[in-house]
Structure 1
Amino acid sequence: MDRIRVALADDHPIVLAGIRTLLNADPEIELVGEATSGSDALPMIHSAGPDVAVVDVSMPGLNGLELTERVAGECPGTRVLVLTVHEDAAYVQPLLRAGARGYLLKRSAADDLLRAVRAVASGGIYLDPSIAGHALADPSSVGGPGPGEAGEALSPRETEVLRLIAQGFSNKEIARRIDLSVKSVETYKARAAEKLGLRTRAEIIRYAAAQGWLDALALR
């Protein structure tokens, strides 16, 4: 099995050393690059082409949000896992909208970092259990009906597509997984989102979390 290639970006040397130690202890993970600023991290990620980039939110140069947006747009093969001290839900939604596939608190890293890296690398979403509930379950924070409030039920295929979208898979990846054309996947996604009144990826993820669709990912 190929090792998961990981790059790190954090401006605190002690934190960087601790993350490095955790990752190097796992034989299934290969550390391919490090940076201590967002502006240094972007070219490093371009050059190294990691499967997962573990990035801090508060960094000099590009901050974590700006870096996530750039990586999502310029390095589609790299998935971003945010590792931060910020527990405020206000940080989570913008980062998910920017393209982050995971959000992990630094205080949880010793126990959950390797699990989070594997979940994100496999195409899923990882949210720190201590922030997932209040970050995604507030119906007033985004539009759309809450679970069970939709006027029209989803078909099994619409449910399957929406669940995979929420777990971080692209339309092309979903098409391969369930043997459909990309166009059909897009149609099912659009129908499901319209029925539920979901307009953004963050809203889809909130709905998925409320349905328990992300629970299995959090246990990997």
Structure 2
Amino acid sequence: MVTAIRQAERPTRVVVVDDHPIMRAGTQAALEEQADLAVVGVAADGAEALRLSDALRPDVLVLDLGLPDISGVEVARQVSATSPEVNVLVLSAHDTLGNVRSLRDVGVRGFVSKLASGDELVGAIRRVAAGGTAISVCRGSALSTGGAGSKDAAGDEPQESLTAREADVLQLLAGGRRNMEIAAELSVSVNTVEFHVRHVLAKLGARSRTEAAMRARELGLCPATRDRTAA
């Protein structure tokens, strides 16, 4: 019983990996403000990240993709293969659908934009530490479906980037909100929402709101919720 109580009270152990000193220190400081999180190690490159992950076995590895020696994707792949109990959460400035897909394939449990708030990062860490997943790229930044001239997995024509506002609409649409609710949430008119929805559907190659919501969920962009997307 005592052991169980101590386990419940133990803070979530986090290792932060980023090659930029200011970003690394800022992330560490933000996490250390939380009583239930403990930063047990920091690293500036992939080799050190792998060493700390193996030696410390943290609950969550917060990982930047752009490391100077080993790519963040390769670090995530190795950690997931050798230390599956370590939950990898990527914190990156590169918000593309292709990144989200490839990272999920190598075992990453969470993806948070560097444009996200500290509260979003903290919430994502708590979710992946509890065994869930956390994708936070829909709000606050423009999303690319893969970059200029790229094609989707099915080999279709290149798709355009979603603007920040279109990404906002997509997240709310995928959450089951109706146009009137989206308009109220974003403080815009219903006509403006309808305009953005048409663009989102076209850019995702979706024929309906429901299909757009399903595509967003399949790509890991937005959490699966009870479907209320019928107009």
Fold match (TM-score > 0.5): yes
Query: What are the superposed Cα offsets for residues 174-211 of structure 1, whole Å, 9 maximum, x if unpaired?
Result: xxxxxxxxxxxxxxxxxxxxxxxxxxxxx9x6178778
RMSD: 3.0
- Would the alpha carbon gap of residues 210 and 18 (structure 1) be closer, same or farther in structure 2, given more than 3 Å must change? closer
Seq. identity, %: 30
1:57 to 65, 78, 88: 65
> Which of the pair is proportionally richer in helix?
1
Other-structure match for 1:197 = none
Which of 1 and 2 has greater Rg? 2
Q: Is the 8 A contact 2:15 2:62 kept in 1?
A: yes
Which amino acid letter does the alignment assign opposite residue 206 of structure 1?
A: E
Other-structure match for 2:218 = 206
Shift of 1:91: 1.3
* Count, aligned residues: 153
Which amino acid letter does the alignment assign opposite residue 80 of structure 2?
A: A
Are residue 118 (structure 1) and residue 130 (structure 2) matched? no
Other-structure match for 1:80 = 88
Other-structure match for 1:101 = 109
The SS at the match of 2:91 is: strand
Q: Is the 8 A contact 1:92 1:135 kept in 2?
A: no
Q: Write the mapping of 1:170-209 to structure 2, written as runs, cut at 5 A.
A: 206=218
Q: Which runs of 5+ in 2 are unaligned?
A: 1-8, 146-150, 155-214
Are residue 68 (structure 1) and residue 82 (structure 2) matched? no
Which amino acid letter does the alignment assign opposite residue 114 of structure 1?
A: V
Which amino acid letter does the alignment assign opposite residue 90 of structure 1?
A: G
State the alpha-carbon separation in 1 of the partners of residues 122 and 226 from structure 2. 17
Other-structure match for 1:9 = 17
Shift of 1:107: 1.0
Higher relative contact order (CA 8 A, sep 6+): 1
Shift of 1:61: 1.6
State the alpha-carbon separation in 1 of the partners of residues 93 and 71 from structure 2. 14
State the alpha-carbon separation in 1 of the partners of residues 46 and 65 from structure 2. 9
Are residue 32 (structure 1) and residue 64 (structure 2) matched? no
Q: Which runs of 5+ in 1 are unaligned?
A: 144-202, 216-220
The SS at the match of 2:79 is: helix
Which amino acid letter does the alignment assign opposite residue 212 of structure 1?
A: A
- Would the alpha carbon gap of residues 208 and 110 (structure 1) be closer, same or farther in structure 2, given more than 3 Å must change? closer
State the alpha-carbon separation in 2 of the partners of residues 211 and 27 from structure 1. 27
Other-structure match for 2:160 = none
